[in-house]
Amino acid sequence: MSQQPPRVDVPVSTEGLLALTWGLNSLVFVVLVIRLVLHRRQKLKGPAIVISDALICVSFFFGITAIATDAWKYSKEIEARTRQLSLHDKETSPKLSFFCGYFVFSAMWFAKGAFVVYYYHLFTNLSKKLRYYLIFVTAFTASTYIFTMLLQTFWCRPIWTNWTLDPLRGCSATGNTTTLPLWSFMNIVTDILILAVPLSVLHTLQLGRRQVVALIVVFLIGGLSIFAAVARFIIIFPKIKKNSKAPIVHTYELWALIEIMSSQLAVCLPALRGWLRGRKDNRSRKAWGGSERKADNAVSGGSGGKKLRDSQDSCPDSGISRVEGGEGLLGNDDRV
């Protein structure tokens, strides 16, 4: 007889977490592929573009690894409803949770790094003050990642206390009242500093309404990453302050998933805008081509056709030539 599903620390079932995890990750994968394909088609091979693409791919890889680790743990939770798990499975689950912390932090920070490096391509004419600020943000992002990795590795000694089943000797490198505020603070501050870079140059740009809307969407998705980090801290910290052994694994993983996916989407969205603009340009060229053929058919008939063709030939800078010649000015490179 099957047992009742165990209560989890989030208002989502284990099956729901699995579906949400793979669904959001599939969305990120599609947008990431569009970004990479567009950059190759546009032949954007500057150092900033190459490094940014590499960092977001590494972030996606760590995110996939973390999701696969969580999927194994969730499958064991589902399996535990119908049978008793072996001692090996019980020991493996907390060990995977510990190593999953490395994957989660790496996915978060490599996405931040991809965002920062992309700025070097996007903003090519920064003032000296803003250029120094961007360098500071780059160094700060790298240093907080290194600090977080060291915190994860050396907080609990010996290291096996991170996954021991002994409640008296167990230790959590991420979920305690000291390390959680530390790395949460660094995570949130890093995101704020990164989002402040484009905000500092907005007053120098002349943007149309569509560009403003696109920029707002990017900021909202990037802000969702900050919201997820704040929400995770607000929900988890009171629980572990009251009870250091409180169940927080699913809460941590759910909000980490939202934070990682939103930051990865925010990095890839500027390329998606270029893809949508390219599709619009293609439709415009097809529509213009159809109108041009109709005009040619009309010109070729009638007694005045020769005179009209001669007048077009004598005016090489006609409207048609200007449209085709101006196409190169509508590239997908969004540098400022």
The total domain count for the chain is 1
Range 307-321 average pLDDT:
42
Residue range 54-99, pLDDT digits in tens: 999 999 999 999 988 888 888 877 777 778 877 777 778 888 888 9
Is residue 335 included in any domain, yes or no?
no
pLDDT attached to residue 249 = 79
Q: Is the pLDDT of residue 235 over 80?
A: yes
Tell me if 222 sits within 8 A of 191, measured CB to CB.
yes
Q: Is the pLDDT of residue 174 over 90?
A: no
Joined together, the tokens standing for residue 68 give 């696969």
Q: For the chain, give the mean pLDDT.
A: 77
Residue with tokens 């998705």: 221
pLDDT attached to residue 7 = 54
Q: Is the pLDDT of residue 309 over 50?
A: no
Q: Is the pLDDT of residue 105 over 90?
A: yes
Is residue 325 included in any domain, yes or no?
no
Range 175-184 average pLDDT:
89
**Angle between helices 179-199 and 87-122 in degrees, nearest 10:** 20
Residue range 140-163, pLDDT digits in tens: 999 999 999 999 999 998 999 988
pLDDT attached to residue 151 = 92
Residue with tokens 């063709």: 309
Domain that holds residue 254: 14-268
Contacts of 112 (CB under 8 A, 6+ apart): 141, 145, 190, 191, 194, 263
Is residue 88 included in any domain, yes or no?
yes
Distance CA 283, CA 93 (A): 53
Residue range 240-267, pLDDT digits in tens: 888 877 778 788 888 888 899 999 988 8
Is residue 126 included in any domain, yes or no?
yes
Is residue 143 included in any domain, yes or no?
yes
Segment among 69-73, 94-98, 202-206, 284-288 with least mean pLDDT = 284-288
Tell me if 149 sits within 8 A of 102, measured CB to CB.
yes
Is residue 238 included in any domain, yes or no?
yes
Joined together, the tokens standing for residue 96 give 């995977």
Residue range 4-30, pLDDT digits in tens: 445 566 667 777 778 888 888 889 999
pLDDT attached to residue 326 = 32
Is residue 309 included in any domain, yes or no?
no
Radius of gyration of the chain (CA): 27
Contacts of 323 (CB under 8 A, 6+ apart): 288
Percent of the chain exceeding pLDDT 70 equals: 74
Range 286-293 average pLDDT:
55
Quick one: pLDDT band at residue 322, thresholds 50, 70, 90? very low
Its pTM stands at 0.76
pLDDT attached to residue 16 = 79
Distance CA 77, CA 10 (A): 14
Is residue 80 included in any domain, yes or no?
yes
The CATH number that applies at residue 77 is 1.20.1070
Distance CA 335, CA 119 (A): 9
pLDDT attached to residue 275 = 54
Segment among 124-138, 198-212, 322-336 with least mean pLDDT = 322-336
Closest CA to 76 of 92, 64, 62: 92
